Amino acid sequence: MPQLGEQSRLVAASRRHDLVVGSPRFERSGILGRAPLECFLRVAFVHPVIGLLTVLLAVFVMSRGLTSRRRDSRAHAARRIHRRWAPWALAAMALSAVTGTASTVFLRQDLSLGETWHLAVGWTAVAWMSAAGLLTRAFTRNPSLRRVHPWLGVVSVALAVIQAILGIQLLP
């Protein structure tokens, strides 16, 4: 039995389509099944959109980090931007990984976790980016770690790009 709000939505939909709730024509019209499908399609594209924005943000942060290693006037501004936006890029990567895993578990019955490399590469990119972020905490104690940090960042962004390419085939 539909809830009160859902029933009024169905009645309003039936009036728009000139249908009577419970009639055979109403049942064949697909109005009952249309709303969950539309909701699924909206929610199912949340992860790919977040993922694309995350990859773009990660590439931007990486470019600022690599620019900050130069010995010119732009280095200081690039270092400030990199320091400000890198935690947000890591948080966006983690959010994207969580939404991807959740959408696979809750929305995509046609997929199972670990069925493709998309999931493993995505979480690996998050791990590499986390390692790069944690490494910054040790810069003052061991300055030689500054040579390792950019490589971890480049590898994590490369993995994120590969992961995005692998995800294209999984779009609903």
Domain limits, the chain: 4-40, 45-168
In this prediction, residue 32 carries a pLDDT of 45
Q: Helix (H, G, I), strand (E, B), or coil: what is residue 41?
A: helix
Closest by Cα among 104, 99, 85, 98 to 153: 85
Question: Could you count the other beta carbons within 10 Å of the beta carbon of residue 58?
Answer: 27
Q: Cα angle vertex 137, ends 133, 140, to 5°?
A: 135
* Cβ pair 48, 171 in contact under 8 A: yes
pLDDT at 170 over 50: yes
| pLDDT at residue 132 is higher than 50 | yes
Least confident residue range of 88-92, 97-101, 103-107: 103-107
- Quick check: 74 and 67 in contact, CB under 8 A? yes
pTM: 0.72
Structural contact between residues 103 and 51, judged by C-beta atoms closer than 8 angstroms = no
Q: Name the average pLDDT for the chain.
A: 81
How many Cβ atoms sit within 10 Å of the Cβ of residue 132?
Answer: 23
Q: Are the C-beta atoms of 100 and 43 separated by less than 8 Å?
A: no
d(CA 113, CA 123): 12
